[in-house]
Structure 1
Amino acid sequence: MHIHTSDQPSLSLGFGGYTCNWGLHICGLYETEQERDDIVMGFLYQGDIADDLQLYCPVERSEADFKHQYALRYPACSDHPEDPDRFQLSSAKSFYYPDGIFSPWAMDEGLEAFFVQSQKREPRNIRATAEMVWALEAIPGVEHLMAYESRLNYFIPGKPWISICLYNLNKFSGSTIMGVLRTHPYSISGGIITENPFYQDPDEWLATNAPQFLPPKSEKD
């Protein structure tokens, strides 16, 4: 089933028979490891065989466990997660708060630098996914997580990039999940993708909830 999400080229998501278009920011909501893995494994495997660059932050499992489970599912590609030209695996700390503080501004800079570097040799599609339970820790700045999520809706559209932010419904509060829904234009729940009726444009969401993270007018032009 194709979900038209932009005028960019289409891709297979790797689960549920879904295709969509590049330049998309999705939240993946799940309750069980099976639900999570059906999204993560299928999404990354599809990118692997399409020669996309995979960016993955495992948190509820170790990198070693991910590599083991990936090899069990896809034995012909068992060594691919070891290849940094195919997979960039990162801990939550090294990706989101390497200096011990979470900052949406620093994330903007880091993602832009990563994207520019990824395109230097040749155009490359990027699939990113992360388990967001790290944000339940008492990390300075983590209260700005939803501002970061909202600002991703400036960064991702128009790029050969798709992000799935994974939220465990058993661990996050209802109010946090509502914030997640307001900052992701599409959601996955029960393996089904839908356009999110709660989503708010980042200009609107940031103006109401985190005006200090609104971009300068020149950034949006």
Structure 2
Amino acid sequence: MRLVILGGPGAGKGTQARRLCHQLGISEISTGDVLRRAIAKQTELGFQAQHYVEKGELVPDPILIEFMRQRLLQPDTAHGWLLEGYPRTAFQAEELDFLLEELEQRLDWAIYLEVSESVMMNRSVLRSQSLQIALSHSSDGSHQDIVSKGNLRLDDSPEIVERRIELFYERTIPILEYYGYRQRLLTIKGDQSAEKVEEDLLRLLMAAK
């Protein structure tokens, strides 16, 4: 099965991605992890991406799609995969479809974790506060390592989260329309417990096969 997972800040994308990949026996592909590994190894693409990442700029689409091409050609993706962090725009969604057609693959479903703005705000701010407390009591650097991997954010103040939510809606509504028009969109209520969301997701995916 080949999947994309979408959702706003605090929607639980990372949590559900890990759970789904474990249950379905497919590979989890995080765009952030792919970029960080390539930059750390100083691959040709990693070197190109580093220029933009260090300036805080978005990595251009042609570079990102080449990252996706190389990652989707790796052996561990043969039994399926789940993309987290890509696509982020309708243009990228279309580019991904073109790439998959070239690779003779097809996206099965785009999963949208639908969460209210208030829940996104509360989860993101609480997550940041919890991490700050953990870091203040950490002496071995383990929590800082989690931050550096991008799984948690220290900058989730209400103002910053609000802006991230605005950007999410601006970019994601067109993606939902794109996949909805192609009848490849599954929407799940993400403001439930992680266990209930996972249960609903698996039930929907099995029914949609």
Q: Common fold, TM-score beyond 0.5?
A: no
Report 1 or 2 for greater relative contact order, CA contacts < 8 Å, sequence distance ≥ 6. Answer: 2
Higher strand share: 1
Higher helix share: 2
Q: TM-score, normalised by structure 1?
A: 0.40
